[in-house]
């Protein structure tokens, strides 16, 4: 089961689940056997030598990076003899849901090996990061561990940073190098690495002094910094750079956390003439009204020029209306400069990208020039005339269904389906127990306040990646918001979700 047949020569071909030795018995073959068993020992150790001899194998020595990667891949996650392997890189919305969808499909010739590779051990449900800051959900609601999410699936999870992708142009197969010494072979590859914060090079001091809000570690860091400000005596000021949806949500969350401090100031620095300028009018009006209620000060057309630290405070130099100003803050939060994380995939990454670094794909989400490599989410790009949409979590959610089906179709000789985006509306939190929901009805219908907050939380319970996670998050929501009845019904909801998950998987089997 070590997979020694990965480098089997023409003398040793696979037959079912074993490899048989050639009938040749001349002296040159005996000499070659001695050399090749030495190679076997070096590649797989004593266990490889024992199994190699037991199988009557003499793997021929090969050189070169591709063969070395194949040797390592023989013991890698997802390597099971006789099965094709699908490797999904990136555990965000697009990557995780693609892997789960692939696992749930019915495979006529047997389910392939599915491996999910991600740098972090936790999945991050980014829309709930703001709710975590305001105390409306716990850490396992917003960032469950992959091992918990995948415990009832056949998906293998491989934690580590991708160092390189080796792809054979002739066969389309490849090997993914993860970390220093782990390799994952694949027949089909899905790239869903998402986006990461990229501080602009033209803003000195931003990378060193500003705090981003994009990852699990960022969320915990901001939580600790806000707790420190809450317990500190004297006035405090927090500035949020970015007038988009993320900046407004973060500013409202910070203002809610510091609401009990009358001497706390929250400042939103928006580079455009209006906050959330690409959002529906109802969304913008609801956000402006709530920011006014929370006391968030908004500076439009404010562009950050540089950041420096003086006597423990951040001095933020901005351009406002053509004039330069300096704002002293205790904390500068950064929500602008999101870029595709394709640059983190290693030096051998050779897929076609646009000027922003997004992978170019066709309407079927296949990477240009590669029939067995797919890309989706923030790291992918389609021509505007094909799919005119903005990269959001909603897009990645919908792409995951198409991506999983098209991989299944390509492996089973079926027709691929082009991706078509259906806009379902927009939701955002505006601080503790308030939100805004805009539905695509006519020119746009907007609901805000407490009803919108409850509707948003219920929608995100439904959007959780697995039934078991839906039960966990739904239980937490009931116990926090439902009073005594909610505390009684919460465990029942989680139990029902767990049993429903078991029933569905048994039905598929």
Which are the contacts of 41, defined by CB distance < 8 A and separation ≥ 6?
48, 49
Query: Cα(473)–Cα(483) distance, rounded to whole angstroms?
Result: 16
Is the same domain home to 140 and 100? yes
Is the same domain home to 306 and 243? yes
Residue 113 lies in a domain: yes
pLDDT of residue 72: 45
Digits of tens for pLDDT over the chain (509 positions)? Answer: 333 333 333 333 333 333 333 333 344 434 444 444 444 444 444 444 444 554 544 444 444 444 444 444 444 555 555 589 999 999 999 999 999 999 999 999 999 999 999 999 999 999 999 999 999 999 999 999 999 999 989 999 999 999 888 888 777 789 999 988 889 999 999 999 999 988 988 899 999 999 999 999 999 999 999 999 998 888 999 999 999 999 999 999 999 999 989 899 999 999 999 999 989 999 999 999 999 999 999 999 999 999 999 988 999 999 998 899 999 999 999 999 888 888 777 655 578 888 888 899 999 999 998 899 999 999 898 876 556 677 788 999 999 999 999 999 999 999 999 999 999 999 999 999 999 999 988 777 999 999 999 999 999 999 999 999 999 999 888 888 777 777 677 777 777 777 777 776 666 56
Q: At 147, is the secondary structure helix, strand, or coil?
A: helix
E strand or H helix at 348: none
Q: Is 356 exposed, middle or buried (0-12, 13-18, 19+ CB in 10 A)?
A: exposed
Residue 277 lies in a domain: yes
| Whether 132 contacts 139, CB under 8 Å | yes
Q: Angle 245-257/216-230 helices, nearest 10 degrees?
A: 40
Which are the contacts of 364, defined by CB distance < 8 A and separation ≥ 6?
402, 406, 416, 417, 418, 419
Is the same domain home to 48 and 97? no
Q: At 371, is the secondary structure helix, strand, or coil?
A: coil
Is the same domain home to 331 and 353? no
Handedness of CA 380, 382, 384, 388 (dihedral sign): negative
> What is the number of domains present in the chain?
3
Residue 479 lies in a domain: no
Domain that holds residue 292: 206-336
Is the same domain home to 331 and 210? yes
Q: Beta strands of 246-312 (E only): which ranges?
A: 264-269, 296-299, 302-310
Q: At 23, is the secondary structure helix, strand, or coil?
A: coil
DSSP, res 313: E
Is the same domain home to 348 and 414? yes
Is the same domain home to 293 and 413? no
Of 319, 336, 353, the one marking the end of a domain is 336
Is the same domain home to 217 and 325? yes
Is the same domain home to 222 and 332? yes
């Amino acid at each position: 089961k070590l997979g020694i047949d990965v480098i089997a020569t023409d003398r040793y071909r696979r037959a079912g689940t074993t490899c048989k030795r050639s009938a040749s018995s001349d002296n040159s073959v005996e000499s070659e056997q001695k050399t090749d068993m030495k190679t076997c020992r070096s590649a797989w150790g004593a266990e490889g030598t024992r199994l190699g001899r037991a199988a009557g194998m003499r793997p021929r020595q090969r050189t070169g990076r591709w063969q070395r990667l194949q040797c390592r891949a023989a013991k890698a996650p997802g390597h099971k003899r006789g099965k094709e392997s699908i490797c999904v890189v990136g555990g965000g919305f697009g990557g995780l849901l693609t892997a789960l969808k692939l696992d749930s499909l019915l495979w006529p010739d047997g389910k392939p090996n599915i491996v999910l590779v991600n740098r972090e051990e936790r999945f991050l449900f980014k829309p709930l990061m703001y709710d975590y800051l305001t105390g409306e959900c716990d850490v396992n609601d917003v960032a469950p561990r992959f091992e918990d999410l995948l415990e009832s699936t056949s998906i293998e999870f491989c934690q580590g940073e991708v160092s390189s992708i080796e792809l054979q142009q002739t066969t389309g197969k490849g090997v993914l190098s993860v970390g220093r010494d782990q390799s994952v072979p694949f027949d089909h590859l899905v790239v869903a690495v998402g986006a990461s914060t990229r501080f602009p090079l033209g803003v000195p001091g931003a990378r060193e002094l500003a705090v981003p809000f994009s990852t699990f570690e960022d969320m915990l860091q901001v939580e600790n910094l806000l707790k420190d400000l809450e317990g500190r005596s004297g006035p405090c000021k927090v500035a949020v750079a970015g007038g988009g949806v993320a900046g407004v949500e973060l500013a409202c969350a910070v203002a809610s956390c510091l609401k009990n401090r009358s001497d706390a100031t929250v400042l939103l620095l928006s580079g455009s003439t209006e906050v959330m300028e690409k959002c529906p009018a109802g969304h913008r009006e609801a956000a402006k009204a709530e920011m006014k209620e929370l006391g968030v000060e908004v500076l439009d057309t404010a562009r950050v020029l540089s950041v420096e630290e003086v006597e423990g405070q951040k001095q933020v130099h901005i351009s406002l209306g053509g004039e330069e100003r300096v704002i002293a803050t205790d904390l500068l939060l950064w929500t602008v400069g999101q870029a595709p994380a394709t640059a983190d995939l290693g030096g051998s990454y050779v897929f076609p990208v646009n000027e922003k670094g997004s992978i170019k794909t066709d309407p079927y989400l296949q990477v240009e020039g590669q029939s067995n490599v797919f890309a989706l989410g923030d790291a992918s790009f389609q021509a505007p005339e094909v799919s005119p949409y903005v990269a959001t979590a909603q897009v990645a959610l919908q792409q995951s269904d198409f991506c999983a089906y098209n991989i299944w179709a390509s492996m089973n000789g079926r027709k691929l389906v082009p991706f078509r985006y259906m806009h379902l509306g927009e939701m955002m939190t505006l601080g503790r127990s308030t939100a805004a929901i805009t539905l695509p009805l006519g020119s746009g219908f907007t609901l805000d306040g407490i009803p919108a907050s409850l509707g948003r939380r219920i929608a995100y319970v439904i959007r959780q990646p697995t039934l078991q996670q839906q039960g966990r998050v739904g239980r937490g929501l009931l116990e926090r918001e439902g009073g005594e009845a909610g505390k009684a019904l919460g465990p029942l909801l989680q139990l029902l979700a767990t049993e429903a998950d078991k029933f569905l998987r048994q039905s598929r089997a």
